[in-house]
Amino acid sequence: MAKVINQIRDIEIIENELKTAIAGLLSYPVTDEKITQFPTTFVYLDKNVYIFFEDESELYDQIHADALSTFSVIKTEKGKKSAEVSFVPAYKFIAVKLFGINKKIEEQKTIDDLNKLYVEKYLKSDLKKKYKKILMIDTEEIQASEEIGG
From first to last of the 150 residues of the chain, give the pLDDT tens digit.
788 899 999 999 999 999 999 999 999 998 888 899 999 999 999 999 999 999 888 889 889 999 999 999 999 987 777 666 778 788 889 999 999 999 999 999 999 999 999 998 998 766 677 899 999 999 999 999 999 888
Q: How far apart, in whole angstroms, are the C-alpha atoms of residue 46 and residue 18?
A: 11
CB burial of residue 97 (10 Å; 0-12, 13-18, 19+): middle
Q: How far apart, in whole angstroms, are the C-alpha atoms of residue 37 and residue 70?
A: 9
| Distance of alpha carbon 38 from the chain centroid | 11
Q: How far apart, in whole angstroms, are the C-alpha atoms of residue 1 and residue 150?
A: 6
- Rg over alpha carbons for the chain, rounded to the nearest Å, is 17
